[in-house]
C-alpha cells in the first residue's frame, strides 16, 4: 500500500492534460459486449478500475487488449460465460454495468453484488427496476444477481430515485434496450455527459437512440449491433480537481482538454467564490486573485454541482475567506474527508447533510488517511495548499480514478512523491 508525501505551500502553475473520462470509459467498454466484430475505444485512462473491468470482460469471453496510446480493442470470442466474479466485482461498483449488455445479448447474467468506495448507501435497485420492466427475471443467489430473459421487450420506464436520476442505472437500461423488441422510453433518465457519450457510441454501433442528455431517452430496439471506433470524452471530474488545486494554492493552471459545457455548475461555484476562470479554445484556465471567497454549494444531479467534486470544493473553501456552507443532496453522508481536513487545521462542522466551513488563512501539514476516491483528491489539494509536510495514507483509492496524478502535479511544480507505506 502506497502513500503520498507532500511539501505544501507552493502555488501550482503550468499546463496539465486532462485524461479520458473514467465514468465514460467503463460503460463504453461494457457496451462492447453487445457488438458483433471488433470495437476500439480510445482515450481510455490507465486506471485500476479500468483494468479491473478489462479483467471482468476477459472472464466474460472478450479479448480486450490495450495499446500504449490508451486505446482498448475489444472482440467477443466466446458468448457462453455470463458470470462476473466476486473477487473482481467487489472492488468496483461500476462493474454492475456489464449486467444490461449480458442479459440483452446472451439472455443471462450472473453478476456479484458490487463494492467500491464507502460514501453512504448506493443501492442498485434502479438498475434492476429497469431490467425487470424490460422483461428480465431477477433473483439473488449467494450474493450474486442472476438475471434472465429469452428476449427483452421495450416499454416505458421511470428511473427516478430518492436522490435524483441514476447514471449507471440509466446506462444499464439504455444499453439493454438497444436489443429489445420494440420501443423503450426511459423517463427521468440521467442527463450526464457520460450518458450522452455512451449513447453516441451505441448509435455508431447501429442503435436507435434519441434524447440522450435529457430526462427522456427513447430507444428503438434493433436486431444486432456492430463493432466501431470511438473516443471517450475528457474527464470532467479530473478537470475540476486541477482547477480547484490551482484555486487552493493560488496558482495559475491551464487544464487542457477540459470542456466548459460539462462543468457549468462547477465554474459557477468557483466564480461565486471569486476565483477567476477563463475559457480558452484548448481548455480552462484558473487564475486566482488572493484567497477564495465564501460561497454556498449544494450538490445535485447533473447539470447541478457534482457530488464527485464536493470534497475537492470543501478543501478549497477550507482556506477561503469567511464561512461557507456545503450541502450534499446526492450522498448526504459523503463527508468522511472533513475529519481529516480538520486534522490539518480546517474548521469544519457537520450539520446533517451539510457542513459549515470556516476558512482559515492556512492549513498545516499532518498525517491523514484517505477514505474514498474523491476524499483522497481533497486531501491532496489540502496538502498542496498547506504549510509543511502532509502524508496521505491509503492512496490506492486515488489510483482508481486519477491517472499519473503525482506525475501531473509534479509538472505543475508540486513537491509530491509516492512512497511505500
Question: Which sequence positions are flagged as catalytic?
Answer: 117
Nearest to 273 by CA among 300, 294, 252, 303: 294
3-state class (DSSP) for residue 326: strand
- DSSP string for residues in 345-405: T-EEEEETTEEEEE--S--B--EEE--SHHHHHHHHHHHHHSBEEEEEE-THHHHTT-TTH
The grid cell for 106 is 446472451
The grid cell for 267 is 465554474
Distance in angstroms (rounded) separating the CA atoms of residues 218 and 202: 13
CA pseudo-torsion sign 308, 312, 318, 324: negative
DSSP-derived letter for residue 15 is E
- Work out whether strand 229-231 and strand 38-42 pair parallel, antiparallel, or are unpaired: parallel
List, in sequence order, every beta strand (DSSP E) within 81-136.
83-84, 108-112
Nearest to 376 by CA among 418, 325, 330, 332: 418
**What is the chain's length?**
421
- 317: enclosing H helix or E strand: helix 310-317
Q: Which residues pair with 299 in a beta bridge?
A: 305, 328
Q: Which residues pair with 210 in a beta bridge?
A: 218
Number of helices and strands in the chain (H, E):
14, 28
3-state class (DSSP) for residue 419: strand
Amino acid at each position: 500500500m502506497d502513500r503520498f508525501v507532500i511539501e505544501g505551500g507552493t502555488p501550482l502553475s503550468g499546463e496539465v492534460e486532462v485524461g479520458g473520462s473514467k465514468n465514460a470509459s467503463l460503460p463504453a467498454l461494457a457496451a462492447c459486449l453487445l457488438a458483433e466484430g471488433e470495437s476500439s475505444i480510445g482515450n481510455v485512462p490507465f486506471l485500476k478500475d479500468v483494468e479491473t473491468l478489462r479483467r471482468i470482460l476477459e472472464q466474460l469471453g472478450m479479448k480486450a487488449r490495450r495499446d500504449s496510446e490508451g486505446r482498448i480493442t475489444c472482440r467477443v470470442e466466446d458468448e457462453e460465460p455470463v458470470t462476473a466474479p466476486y473477487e473482481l466485482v467487489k472492488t468496483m461498483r461500476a462493474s454492475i454495468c456489464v449486467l444490461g449488455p449480458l442479459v440483452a445479448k446472451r439472455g443471462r447474467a450472473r453478476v456479484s453484488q458490487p463494492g467500491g468506495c464507502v460514501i453512504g448507501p448506493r443501492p442498485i435497485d434502479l438498475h434492476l427496476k429497469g431490467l425487470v420492466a424490460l422483461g428480465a427475471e431477477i433473483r439473488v443467489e449467494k450474493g450474486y444477481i442472476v438475471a434472465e430473459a429469452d428476449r427483452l421487450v421495450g416499454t416505458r420506464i421511470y428511473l427516478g430515485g430518492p436522490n435524483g436520476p441514476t447514471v449507471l442505472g440509466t446506462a444499464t437500461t439504455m444499453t439493454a434496450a438497444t436489443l429489445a423488441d420494440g420501443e423503450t422510453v426511459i423517463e427521468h433518465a440521467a442527463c450526464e455527459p457520460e450518458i450522452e457519450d455512451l449513447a453516441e457510441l451505441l448509435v455508431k454501433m447501429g442503435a436507435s437512440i434519441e434524447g440522450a442528455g435529457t430526462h427522456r431517452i427513447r430507444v428503438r430496439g434493433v436486431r444486432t449491433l456492430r463493432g466501431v471506433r470511438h473516443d471517450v470524452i475528457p474527464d470532467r471530474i479530473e478537470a475540476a480537481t486541477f482547477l480547484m488545486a490551482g484555486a487552493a494554492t493560488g496558482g495559475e493552471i491551464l487544464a487542457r482538454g477540459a470542456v466548459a459545457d460539462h462543468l457549468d455548475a462547477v465554474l459557477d461555484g468557483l466564480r461565486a467564490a471569486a476565483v477567476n476562470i477563463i475559457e480558452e479554445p484548448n481548455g480552462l484556465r484558473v487564475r486566482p486573485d488572493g484567497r477564495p471567497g465564501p460561497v454556498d454549494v449544494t450538490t445535485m444531479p447533473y447539470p447541478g454541482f457534482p457530488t464527485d467534486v464536493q470534497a475537492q470544493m470543501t478543501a478549497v473553501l477550507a482556506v477561503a475567506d469567511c464561512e461557507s456552507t456545503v450541502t450534499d443532496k446526492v450522498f448526504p453522508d459523503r463527508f468522511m474527508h472533513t475529519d481529516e481536513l480538520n486534522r490539518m487545521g480546517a474548521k469544519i462542522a457537520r450539520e446533517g447533510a451539510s457542513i459549515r466551513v470556516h476558512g482559515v488563512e492556512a492549513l498545516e501539514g499532518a498525517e491523514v488517511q484517505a477514505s474514498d476516491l474523491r476524499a483522497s483528491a481533497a486531501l491532496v489539494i489540502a496538502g498542496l495548499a498547506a504549510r509543511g509536510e502532509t502524508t496521505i495514507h491509503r492512496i490506492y483509492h486515488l489510483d482508481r480514478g486519477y491517472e499519473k496524478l503525482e506525475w501531473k502535479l509534479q509538472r505543475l511544480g508540486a513537491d509530491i512523491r509516492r512512497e511505500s507505506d
